[in-house]
Amino acid sequence: MKHPIRKLVFIVVLIGGPLFLFERYRFYRIEGTSMNYGLLEGDIIVSDRHFKKIERGDLLVADHADDAFKRLFIKRCAALPGDRFFQKERSFYLQIEGDSLETQKLGRSHDLETVSTKAGYFIRDPYLKYYGIVHNWRLKGPKVLTTIPLTTVEPDHYYLLGDYRDNSEDSRFFGAVPRERIYSRVICILKKPKGWMELLKIKEAD
């Protein structure tokens, strides 16, 4: 006697499995240099559309309303709602949730450089210790890339920056990104093989 129920379950799994995976996960190919050198042009990333929480340092797939080409961007979350920050001489200063004393404690407990300002304590370049943030000191880009006034991230918005800080179109140009325009969070990076001779050919901004 055949088992039609088992056969039906098998068909559902066979068809539904790939549909579920496609609905939840997205694959993207990296184009451009704004995430050098953690993500290089040609690398493939896997992102999860069903993520619930965004944390500082997350790699996110998003867009913004002012982009005429409706492109997707992959950037790093540099500040959460309520965080305060400013940028001076290419250094990024972060105050966690606008709380000066908690920021000072966090900096000390994680051995991060903390500076005192008129607006309280800020951690200087908090992401340099954990991620491959890159500066190209030969570049003389627009002031918006190097200097940002003291800013508070508004509710339900996220401030996104490229890892190649001197050559990235990010929130310094289009502002913090609202939650509804963040579509997925990167969960896996599929690197293509690179020998050292190939690494020497990586595109640089001049």
Q: 125 to each of 80, 107, 121, 133, how far by Cα in Å?
A: 15, 11, 13, 9
Which residue did the predictor score with more confidence, 70 or 202? 70
Question: Would you say 61 and 26 are in contact if contact means Cβ atoms under 8 Å apart?
Answer: yes
| Residue 192 pLDDT level (bands cut at 50, 70, 90) | confident
Q: What is the pLDDT of residue 70?
A: 87
> Is-contact 205 167, C-beta < 8 A?
yes
What does the pLDDT look like over 78-93, one tens digit per residue?
A: 999 999 999 998 999 9
- Residues 6 or more apart whose CB falls under 8 angstroms from that of 48 comprise 24, 25, 184, 185, 187
Q: Which of 103, 56, 96 is nearest to 76 (CA)?
A: 56
* Tens-place pLDDT, residues 24-58: 999 999 999 999 889 988 899 999 999 999 999 99
The backbone region for 120, taken as left when phi is positive above 0, alpha when psi lies in -120 to 50, beta otherwise, is left
Task: Provide the residue count of the chain.
Answer: 206
**Which structural domains are found in the chain, ordered by start?**
53-185 (2.10.109.10)
What distance lies between CA 182 and its chain's CA centroid? 10
Q: What percent of the chain has pLDDT over 70?
A: 84
How much is the pLDDT for 7?
52
- 8 Å CB contact between 166 and 206: no
Helix and strand element counts for the chain (H, E):
4, 12
CA separation for the pair 97, 81 (Å, rounded): 7
Q: What is the pLDDT of residue 13?
A: 46
Question: At residue 9, does pLDDT exceed 80?
Answer: no
In this prediction, residue 4 carries a pLDDT of 60
- Could you give the CA distance from residue 163 to residue 38 in angstroms, rounded to a whole number? 8
Tokens at residue 137, please?
């000191």
> Strand, coil or helix: what is 4?
helix
| Residue bearing tokens 């056969």 | 7
pLDDT mean across residues, the chain = 87
